[in-house]
Structure formats: C-alpha cells, structure tokens
Amino acid sequence: MARSRISQQSLLRLFRRPTRTLAPINNRKVTSEKSLSVDATPEQDQIFTQQKQNEEVQQYTELVRDFLDPADFYRSIRNIGIDFFCGIPDSLLKNFCAYVTAHADRRKHVITANEGSAIALAAGYHMATKKFAMVYLQNSGLGNCVNPLTSLTPPQVYGLPMLLLVGWRGEPGKRDEPQHMHKGYVTPGLLATVGIPFQVLPDYKEGAEQALYDAQQHMERSSSPYALLVRRQTFLSYKLPKGEDTYHLGREEAVQTVSSILNDYDVVVATTGMLSRELFEYRARNRQGHERDFLTVGSMGHASTIALGIALSKPSRQIWCLDGDGALIMHLGALATVGETAPGNFKHIVINNESHDSVGGQPTAARHGTFDIPMAAKACGYREAFTAVTRDEVLAGIDRLHSLPGPVLLEIKTNRGSRKDLGRPTRSPQENKHDFMKFLSQ
C-alpha cells in the first residue's frame, strides 16, 4: 500500500502537467524500450526513458528525477514581480524561451543583438520602472556581458539589479562539445569574479520558488544582479509551432550548394552552430578533407572578423565567410570594419533563416520586415551585396562573387530547421586549427 502511494507521488511530482507539455510522450503506451516512437526527438526519448525508470524505481525516491515545467517556472517568476524578459536563446533554455515567446507580452520580450545588450536593456528597464528584468543567456554569452556587468550594474558603479538565467553548457562532469567544456568549467568562477551571487536552478517547483525568493531578496537588498545556473534537461518540453516554410532552400542545402562550387584553393571560415556541422558532414561525405574550413565552434559573431584577419594577410587567396543572421547581428559592427579595410579577396555569405535556428529557432531581428542585410553591408562599404533565394540564384550569385572584387556579400534566404541525425565534427578544434594553418601556408 505504502509502496504504491510513494510511487504515485513520485510520478505526480515528475509529471504534473502531462497533457499540456508531454502529450506526445504520455500518449504512448509503455510496453518496452522498443515502444519509443521513431518521430520522437532524442530529448523526448530521454524524458520518456526517464519516466519509465521513475515508474520502475517505485519507493526509491532518491532515484527519481524531476523536471521543471516551463509554465510553473514562468508563473513563479511573474509572482516575484518580473514581467520583462530579454536575452539570447540557448539550447538548454529553449523550452523556457519558447514558453516566454508564446506567453509574454510582445513589448515585454526582446531578443537582443547580443547578451551585453540584454544587460543594458534590463538596466534601462529597471531605471524606468523600478522593476527587475530577467536576462536569459547561454554561459558562452557571459563573455559578451563582462563589460556591462563590471562597469554598469555593480553596486560600486550604478547598482542595477536584474535576474540572469544562464544555461550551463559544459558543466563539469557532463559530456559536451569541446568549445563548451572550458566555459562550463570557468562559469562559476567568472560569476564570482564579477561579483554576482548565483545558485543552480532546482529542477522542481518548490526549489525553483525558493531560488527565486533568494534572488529577489538579493536584488532588493544589494540592488545588483543575481544569477541562476541552469543544468542540462532542467525543463520539460515546450515547443512553438514550426510555422510554414516560405523559402526554397534549407540551410544545409544552401551550405552544400555553396561548397559545391568553391575552388579547391579557397579558404572557408564557417560560423557557430549547425552550419559548421553541416559543412563538416558535407566534406566527409564527399571525401574532401576538412583542412580548408575553419569551424568557428565558439565565439559566435566573430567568424567574419577571423576571416578578415586571414584575408588581409593572404591577398592571393579567396576567403569565404559562411555566416548566420544571428551571428551577423550579434557583432554587426564587424561589417563596418570589413567595409573600412576592404580586402578585395573577402567574400561574405550570410545564410539568413531569420532565426537562432541552432538553439531552438527563436526569431532574430532579421525577421523584422525592414531589416536588410545587403543594404547594411553596402552602407558599411561593401562593394556589392545582394540576395539569392533559389538554388540557381545561389549558383549564379557565387559565380558573381568569384569575379567581383571584395568585400562582397551574398545573403541566402532559407527556411528554418535541420536534420535530426546531424553529426558533430570528429576532428578536435586543435586538429582543425592545425590542418587549416597548414592549408593556409600552401
């Protein structure tokens, strides 16, 4: 009797809102491991497996895993008076970010150009309203925040409170990609160094409420930021509808089309996220080797300036930067530097899917009807900049970029989305750098 009561409590604790957030999983009949649906994402499969394990452990509550419902967490945040959200999305926060996108007032949710801007926005919001804003970000974005977190928000300067929700990629002890491991390791130390108290966000409602209470107390008493670190798979799933495909190509098809007509001697610098992974797979499939591609696995927004450094020093080579709209916008000022230095061998391709597709598909400013990438490039001094939508236009566009003196830019408008079985580079960043430098020296 007691045994079944505890088990039911555990399950209730785990799946408080099954019909809303877990419908596709709970609707499946649990018969065996094989009952996992082929349509389920790896994340759904993992939660499903965990649900099954939770059923099996019965009274051993210490083996039960909790998940935080984004709806509960959002309500708890609202309960401490926070109703303004801004930041840059992260894969660990994607379910929560999707919930915010679907439920927050549109004027009270802003996806900024970069994480530093989000800190500034939250600072302005606080001065205008006396309220606290929430800034969400991946820990990679802490780098972009260091300046405002040390010269704007501290009590020693202006004293501007805000709540940071930080996705903890590369948390020590968890498997992750190389670019996240170091940042994950230094994340607590970095927060401590800039003087921001923090705690890990508990994965159950009451714990999360206590953490929010602690944050509120700190922000009120010290008038400065507080951070919650979010571990992998803290949240239950919440998805936004994908929406209609309005363009001809997907990002992967665009990357393949571009790569298929570059010359063997051309140098490629690819941006952060799935684009680099798609390029890596394309080379592997075509047995082309990876030495001509520098994969900017971290440092989002800096691929074009890395490419610029190469272009200025290797005038006899064509340097192609394969960029994303989110990355371009994150450090839009790079366009001005390229325009000013104007290397003739600099060829910029921006795959514009109007979203941060690699981390959940949240919109970038490129979705705004009046945002015009070619116009911005030309205003910054690019010699030519234009848009392609179909495969033929892309092929013709690359031909044109080959013949025109740089800096020149081709925007390729694509749909959102990626392959579920997309792999990860099997060469380490160090190996990539080594091969790439050898290729550059040829």
Ligand X SMILES: Cc1ncc(C[n+]2csc(CCOP(=O)(O)OP(=O)(O)O)c2C)c(N)n1
Q: Give me the residues that bind ligand X (CB under 6 A), please.
A: 88-90, 138, 140-141, 144, 251, 271-275, 300, 324-327, 353, 355-359, 364
Closer to ligand X by Cβ: residue 118 or 162: 118
DSSP 415: B
Position 325 contacts Mg ion (CB under 5 A): yes
Q: Closest distance between Mg ion and the C-beta of residue 395, in Å?
A: 22
- The DSSP-derived string for 177-194 is -HHHHHHHHHHHHHHHHT
CA distance linking residue 211 with residue 201, whole number of Å: 7
Position 362 contacts Mg ion (CB under 5 A): no
Q: Which residue in 253, 392, 272 sits closest to 321, CA to CA?
A: 272
Closer to ligand X by Cβ: residue 54 or 272: 272
CA distance linking residue 384 with residue 378, whole number of Å: 7
List the single partner that 256 binds among Mg ion, ligand X, none, CB under 5 to 8 Å by kind: none
Q: Which of 89, 326, 361, 407 binds Mg ion (CB under 5 A)?
A: 326
| β-pair partners for 181 | none
Closer to ligand X by Cβ: residue 268 or 275: 275
Q: Closest distance between ligand X and the C-beta of residue 425, in Å?
A: 14
Q: Closest distance between Mg ion and the C-beta of residue 88, in Å?
A: 12
Closer to ligand X by Cβ: residue 169 or 292: 169
Closer to ligand X by Cβ: residue 89 or 225: 89
List the single partner that 140 binds among Mg ion, ligand X, none, CB under 5 to 8 Å by kind: ligand X
Closer to Mg ion by Cβ: residue 50 or 91: 91
Sheet holding 85-87, edge to edge: 109-111, 85-87, 134-138, 163-167, 226-230, 198-200
CA distance linking residue 359 with residue 3, whole number of Å: 41
Nearest residue to ligand X, scored by beta-carbon proximity: 324
Q: Closest distance between ligand X and the C-beta of residue 241, in Å?
A: 18
CA distance linking residue 55 with residue 63, whole number of Å: 10
- The DSSP-derived string for 349-391 is EEEE-SEEGGGT-EE-GGGSTT--HHHHHHHTT-SEEEEE-SH
Q: Closest distance between Mg ion and the C-beta of residue 325, in Å?
A: 4
Which residues lie near Mg ion (CB under 5 A)?
324-326, 353, 355, 357
